[in-house]
Amino acid sequence: MATVMQKIKDIEDEMARTQKNKATAHHLGLLKAKLAKLRRELLAPPSKGGAGGGEGFDVTKSGDSRVGLVGFPSVGKSTLLNKLTGTFSEVASYEFTTLTCIPGVIMYKGAKIQLLDLPGIIEGAKDGKGRGRQVISTARTCNCILIVLDAIKPITHKRLIEKELEGFGIRLNKEPPNLTFRRKDKGGINFTSTVANTHLDLETVKAICSEYRMHNADISLRYDATADDLIDVIEGSRVYTPCIYVVNKIDQITLEELEILDKLPHYCPISAHLEWNLDGLLEKIWEYLDLTRVYTKPKGMNPDYEDPVILSSKKRTVEDFCNKIHKDMVKQFKYALVWGSSVKHKPQRVGKEHELEDEDVVQIIKKV
């Protein structure tokens, strides 16, 4: 492990020394590809027996969605978990109070949202320091990440945590790169682009591909992509997660400072101890999770508004709705009647490919 760490440090030092211009773009692209490969080795070390994962980190996924609290020690993650979920996570005024992963559940708008209080991250977590690796591996499984920052401690914390998470292949508030990469058996590297490229040229693309031992591939760009975007697509193990920066302890700063914080994107100022703006935070979590509530309507009865079926924004067809209720339901499916904003008529007959919107009412008609 130490040799991999040393290699990573050498490459990072060399990247810091290298000037960024057109002549060095090729060389920097190569270094970035090497760095991504070494980071992957750190994340998944060769599986030879030895110690298991950290105790308390294999938390079973429950509820409709999962939100992780990430931050440096003593920024108020445990207090926030206690206030939001009523779960007890030990709180004290010294650092590293929480040592394992503590789950809690919030019931909000009919959805069960699992909230994980992860131990404090220290600088260098992506290189395996502290409990960093387990913390960030658990963060990868979350549908939304809350980065908890202390309003008194500087915002440089934000950059450090982002760097740790990016090093582990978590991309915050980003869309997957709009480029296609297809491997083939022969024909060399074929590089096409529909826009003018300022970051990538054929030489750099070839250098990055050869680092991954890929000598035949079709690559087409639909926007001005960087070397990092190409590496992300080749690696393929990146997770794109929405993220909210929760600035805690706002009762200890001035109003002018608070107004500055309020203008920043993806921010939510709160005070967990005094319970200020926790409703605003819940509303923001709901918005970022982008969940769809669908109500069921048994034949000849009123819709059940108490217990909605929760679907994710990417999987919300009638078929996904059926699978969420019972896996055998699709076999007996004839058609569905839908009331709501996803249809023109009330009700409307739809097939299983129909996409549902938030707060639709669905009645499933089965084959006889």
Same domain assignment for residues 362 and 245: no
CATH code of residue 352 = 3.10.20.30
| Contact residues for 10 (Cβ-Cβ < 8 A; gap 6+) | none
Same domain assignment for residues 182 and 210: yes
Same domain assignment for residues 72 and 157: yes
Q: In angstroms, what is the C-alpha Rg of the chain? A: 24
Cα separation of 320 and 324, whole Å? 6
**Closest by CA position to 265, among listed 161, 144, 172, 140:** 172
Predicted confidence at residue 91, as pLDDT, reads 63
Beta bridge partners of 115: 67, 104
**Number of structural domains the chain divides into:** 3
Name the residue with tokens 């750190």: 42
| Contact residues for 14 (Cβ-Cβ < 8 A; gap 6+) | 31
User: Is 58 inside a domain boundary?
Assistant: no
Helix (H, G, I), strand (E, B) or coil at 231: helix
User: Is 185 inside a domain boundary?
Assistant: yes
Same domain assignment for residues 328 and 218: no
User: Is 49 inside a domain boundary?
Assistant: no
Parent domain of 88: 65-173+239-289
Same domain assignment for residues 196 and 271: no
Same domain assignment for residues 261 and 301: no
Which two tokens mark 136? 């960030």
User: Is 113 inside a domain boundary?
Assistant: yes
Predicted confidence at residue 45, as pLDDT, reads 55
User: Is 54 inside a domain boundary?
Assistant: no
Question: pLDDT tens track of the chain, all 368 residues?
Answer: 567 778 888 888 888 888 888 788 888 888 888 888 887 777 665 554 444 444 446 677 777 888 888 878 777 777 888 888 776 666 655 555 556 677 788 888 888 888 887 776 665 555 555 556 677 777 788 888 888 888 887 677 788 888 878 877 888 888 888 888 888 888 888 888 888 888 788 888 888 888 888 888 888 888 888 888 888 888 887 888 899 988 888 888 888 888 887 788 888 888 888 888 888 888 888 888 888 888 998 888 888 888 888 888 888 888 888 888 888 888 888 888 999 888 898 889 998 889 888 889 999 888 87
Cα separation of 5 and 126, whole Å? 10
Same domain assignment for residues 304 and 253: no
Which two tokens mark 235? 């690696």
User: Is 48 inside a domain boundary?
Assistant: no
User: Is 51 inside a domain boundary?
Assistant: no
Same domain assignment for residues 279 and 146: yes
Name the residue with tokens 């982008």: 290
CATH code of residue 104 = 3.40.50.300
Name the residue with tokens 């669905």: 362
Predicted confidence at residue 54, as pLDDT, reads 45
Please report which residue ranges of the chain form alpha helices under DSSP H. Answer: 2-17, 22-43, 77-85, 132-140, 156-167, 202-211, 227-235, 255-262, 278-289, 318-325
Same domain assignment for residues 245 and 342: no
Q: Are 362 and 336 in contact (CB under 8 A)?
A: yes
Cα-Cα end-to-end distance for the chain = 62
Predicted confidence at residue 51, as pLDDT, reads 46
Same domain assignment for residues 159 and 271: yes
Helix (H, G, I), strand (E, B) or coil at 345: coil
Predicted confidence at residue 52, as pLDDT, reads 46
12-to-7, 286, 313, 366 alpha-carbon distances in Å: 9, 38, 38, 60
Q: Are strands 144-150 and 65-70 parallel, antiparallel or unpaired?
A: parallel
pLDDT tens readout for residues 122-149: 655 555 555 566 777 777 888 888 888 8
Same domain assignment for residues 148 and 190: no
User: Is 73 inside a domain boundary?
Assistant: yes
Q: Output the CA torsion sign for 92, 98, 102, 107.
A: positive
Helix (H, G, I), strand (E, B) or coil at 308: strand
Same domain assignment for residues 77 and 137: yes
Which two tokens mark 176? 């997957």
